Amino acid sequence: MLRDVKPPELSEPIPFSLPSKGLSRAKIALVTTAGVHTKEEPPFDMENPDGDATFREIPSSAKPHSLIITHDYYDHRDADRDINLVFPLERLKELKEEGIVGEVAPRHYSLMGHIRGGLVETLYNETSVEIARRLSSDGVDGVVLTPG
């Protein structure tokens, strides 16, 4: 499947960027491709064989019991019992309390990792751009990326 996905053409190289501050002073967000969302939000589209290139915003105030996974392309039975396996928000909060990270971002993002066909371009040109804009707006210094 992946061999059929052509990477997007870049107009220029992606610049290497050093962290602007130490981790103990950094604001950190979570970004996952595990298909996590709050129970109040609509599920990811499981009907489209190419996936769903939308994202869900998850507030830092979300409790583990308020989160659900809608993603049929991996076995998430263990994550259904402990959402921190794929969306470690409680662990990130613990790292903040221990002084290992400076701040937990106010909002985090979840996508569905199964994206194919024309949705790859949508993900690259629209979805990822909007998530990056929001992370920047929140003053996020770094993200923890977790797969599903």
Q: Are 106 and 135 in contact (CB under 8 A)?
A: no
User: Tens digit of pLDDT for each residue in 29-88?
Assistant: 999 999 999 999 999 999 999 999 999 999 999 999 999 999 988 899 999 999 999 999
Overall pTM > 0.75: yes
* Mean pLDDT (the chain, rounded): 93
How does DSSP classify residue 70? -
Question: How is the chain split into domains, by residue range?
Answer: 24-146
Percent pLDDT > 70 in the chain is 95
Q: Alpha carbon of 140 to those of 54, 75, 113: distances in Å?
A: 21, 31, 22
Q: Quick one: which of 79, 81, 35, 27 has its CA closest to 58?
A: 35
Q: Are 32 and 110 in contact (CB under 8 A)?
A: yes
Q: Quick one: which of 60, 84, 86, 82 has its CA closest to 138?
A: 60
- Tell me the C-alpha distance between 97 and 94, whole Å: 5
- Amino acid (one-letter) located at 3: R
